[in-house]
Structure 1
Amino acid sequence: MDDQALQGVLEALLYVSAEPLSLERLTQVVGGGLTKGLVYNALQRLQHAYAQAARGLQLVEVAGGFALRTKPEWAPWIGRLKKAKPAPKISRSAMETLAIIAYKQPIVRSEIEQIRGVESAGVLRTLLEQKLIRIVGRKDIPGRPILYGTTKLFLERFGLRDLNDLPPLRDFKELAQPVSPSCQADQTSTVEIHEESPPETEKADHDRIPSELAPPVSP
């Protein structure tokens, strides 16, 4: 496979994928005995090609993988589409809680509330529902309280490759501006991407709202 064909294959795979694809996954799907180095170099050339032209898309490295995203300068036109849905807004209290979890994870609810000085069950429940945080385990202390951490969606939402990309804490709120919407998969495409499923326990924890965060029931 020559370089132009390889770039075309990679572009197609990234286009139909609903989430970022890692270099390892792309190399596996492309096959043909190509190394990760060759695939990475092709991705770099494709990224450069998108950056040089006045095109609507860009190739970005985010959440441990690569993805096609619309360029920020075209956001006003994208917003005119009836089906374009902006990312859910994050309240000030949720942003504060999310910042604490991002920088202190894994962390339990009592530690979050000690830092914030207020009760945080409702905010944690909202962040779990938005899949920006997840349950990562339980702390080995009496009562075994739940430990919280951020998710892959958190990295995508804030345009981070990994947690090492977190800015200084004072600058974190600037990241609350939603990143440009991801390119949607072509529903008529015959290419199918099979991503590895997360461990069953992690998937269950990610979707479950713990009873300790349940809103009080009126008598």
Structure 2
Amino acid sequence: MSTLVKHVEAIIFCAPSSVTVEEIFNALQESLGDMVNVEEINKAIATLIQKYKKGGYAFEIVQSAGGYSFMTKEECNDSVGAFLKNRSNKKLSKSALETLSIIAYKQPISKTELEQIRGVGCDYAVKKLLDKDLVEIKGKSEAIGRPLLYGTSEKFLDYFGINSIKDLPSPKEFREEDLNEIGDVATGEIDINSKKEALPLMEEK
């Protein structure tokens, strides 16, 4: 393995979230100087993707949120999910997850529009999603009162392991049984610590 590939691998490994090619390039320019360029970085990433895809590793490098990150492979999701669920009690309530689903599929959307769809107040749910950085303010509506508009964040993309909102499954792909595999049925809470967890989909209205 070349020195450049090792450096790229180290940066992706230590990054707390998805890291872009530009961020890798800027870091390597500072540490290695002119001996690196974007084309070589892309080749290094391609080499690493193949390395972890072919090897007997429990994790791989995937593209998400416009960059790259290490994630556990799909066949290990159940074990990792169980471990994280037992280790932490940081959860999204069913109400917050429903609100997040609407925001994901209808963004940018105002709180008033959210409440019209859900039929209940969303103040607390929106606040929790903002606190967890899964949702962010995208601007203001042109409607009367100029209400704030909400949309999903980069952390949302990184957490669910997708590269853009376009990668979300369509409502037709959602199955009722998917809901039954998520969270605690008794408490109605959803574990947000396991990556690649299914997101309940809202039917288009």
Q: TM-score over 0.5 for the alignment?
A: yes
The amino acid of 1:16's aligned partner reads C
Q: SS at 1:160's partner residue? A: coil
Question: What corresponds to 1:160 in structure 2?
Answer: 162
Q: Percent identity among equivalent residues?
A: 33
Show structure 2 runs of 5+ residues with no match: 183-191, 197-205
Deviations 1:37-56 (A, max 9, x none): 22112101111101111123
Question: What corresponds to 1:30 in structure 2?
Answer: 28
Question: What corresponds to 2:16 in structure 1?
Answer: 18
Question: What corresponds to 2:112 in structure 1?
Answer: 110
Question: What corresponds to 1:204 in structure 2?
Answer: none
Show structure 1 runs of 5+ residues with no match: 181-219
Deviations 1:46-81 (A, max 9, x none): 111011111233111111111122334445278558
The amino acid of 1:12's aligned partner reads A
Deviations 1:142-174 (A, max 9, x none): 222111111111111111111221220344685
The amino acid of 1:23's aligned partner reads V
**Which segment drifts farther, 31-40 or 55-64?**
31-40
The amino acid of 1:58's aligned partner reads E
Distance 1:96 1:81 in 2: 22
Question: What corresponds to 1:179 in structure 2?
Answer: 195
Question: What corresponds to 1:93 in structure 2?
Answer: 95
Q: How many residue pairs align between the two structures?
A: 178
Distance 1:102 1:16 in 2: 28
Q: SS at 2:68's partner residue? A: strand
Question: What corresponds to 2:6 in structure 1?
Answer: 8
CA shift for structure 1 position 8: 0.5
Distance 2:114 2:84 in 1: 39
CA RMSD of aligned residues (A): 2.9
TM-score between the two structures when normalised by the length of structure 2: 0.74
